[in-house]
Amino acid sequence: MAVTATSVADTCAAAKRAARVLARASTATKDAALGATARLLEEREAEILDANAADLADERAAGLSEALRDRLALDAGRVAAMAAGVRAVAALEDPVGEELERKTLASGLDLQKVRVPLGVIAVVYEARPNVTVDCAALTIKSGNAIVLRGSSYAERSNAALAAVVREALAEAGLPQDAVALLAGGGREGLAELATQEGLVDLLIPRGGEGLKAALKDVATVPVMYAAAGNCHVYVHAEADPEMARRIALNAKTQRPGVCNAAETLLVDAAIAERFLPAALGDLRGAGVELVGDERVRALAGGAEVGAAEAEDWDSEFLALKMAVAVVDSIEGAVEHVNRHGTGHSEAIVTTSEEAAEEFAAGVDAAAVYVNASTRFTDGFEYGMGAEIGNSTQKLHARGPIGMRELTTFKYVARGNGQIRE
């Protein structure tokens, strides 16, 4: 088992020491560790799946929703996808040492701005064991150490995966403590991790608003929230109805338990009568529970649509449930999104370039899609190899958190004896 038995402070201190080694490691050495990780994931597939099956059978997982159980579950395809993701990260250009800017100052100093690792990244996450591998791969390639704290109900799966990465690090001659896994515990353990000033350089929580609120109360280290996704699909008056149906169905049902799944469908009043009966039928046929406003319910045809409550417009359901509203204009759609959305991913379906530009400029979100599903907000899809999460903040990063989002920069000035008068 790779779950650490040492204290949180000792684990973070060991990670800090490892981070200093990893920051100076060559690209070839880091890539060797990632290559070994991918190979060992494939070789240890049976062990990993056995550990995951034990987690799914444990009473701690018994009360999980179907969507959360899906996020917890691994199969041969998902293990293969993890290995492929690690190889994709290894194939990317190393961000460490990248020259961002260079100039000669009036003093004659040669001033260079270069990309460097942050140091120790701590990630708190729920349910999805693949996060263990994705996060480790991104931090290794970007020269950072990582302290992982997963859910207690994924303890065996996370331990099996972390053990693979630690073995790969050792095989490549890098310190195993560059990847550490803390046992999932209560609020006290979370508070201890969030207050490791001087040891943890950035904490990234992946979870709901409850986790976010708990950290806001106690955190003294920098925090970048990979927060909730209350995402919308807006069907504009000039949308292609068939395209809009496909996009709405995919955005809601392709994987409903993830943060980039659509939770609300907005339909322009000018197209609602033509669009809604068939679209709502599609969604109901896929098992989606629908709630809507009065205009939606009046146009639902044979589809069952419950009355939407005020809280439905602000909810991240993470399940086969969707809120549906009719809006009178693109301005109304933008206003609805900005009032109820979480700044994650928003989509418009339209044949009008003008409407697309107005929507893209007006909504306040990390990702905006024109005639495409919200499900594409993902580090792998964006060519980052993987992601640690999706940031809905504006500092220090926004959208998928990949390797470059795990770096900062430093200025290096070279002179020949200059002193300031």
Q: What is the mean pLDDT of each run of 10 residues along the chain (421 residues)?
A: 71 98 98 98 98 93 83 95 94 97 98 98 90 96 97 94 98 98 79 96 86 87 88 98 98 93 98 98 98 98 96 95 98 98 97 98 98 95 88 90 95 97 90
Predicted confidence at residue 212, as pLDDT, reads 81
258: its two tokens: 């993830």
pTM for the predicted model, two decimal places: 0.87
Query: What residue ranges of the chain are covered by domains with CATH 3.40.309.10?
Result: 231-376
What superfamily does domain 8-226+388-414 belong to in CATH?
Aldehyde Dehydrogenase; Chain A, domain 1 (3.40.605.10)
Q: Which two tokens stand for residue 313?
A: 């417009």
Report the candidate in 327, 396, 395 with the shortest Cα–Cα distance to residue 362: 327
- The pLDDT score that the predictor gives to residue 1 is 43
Look at residue 4 in the predicted model and tell me its pLDDT.
52
| CATH among 3.30.2130.10, 3.40.309.10, 2.40.10.170, 3.30.450.20 for 231-376 | 3.40.309.10
pLDDT at 185: 64
Which part of the chain is CATH 3.40.605.10?
A: 8-226+388-414
CB-based contacts of 69, cutoff 8 Å, min separation 6: 56, 61
- Cα–Cα nearest to 102, from 90, 111, 94: 111
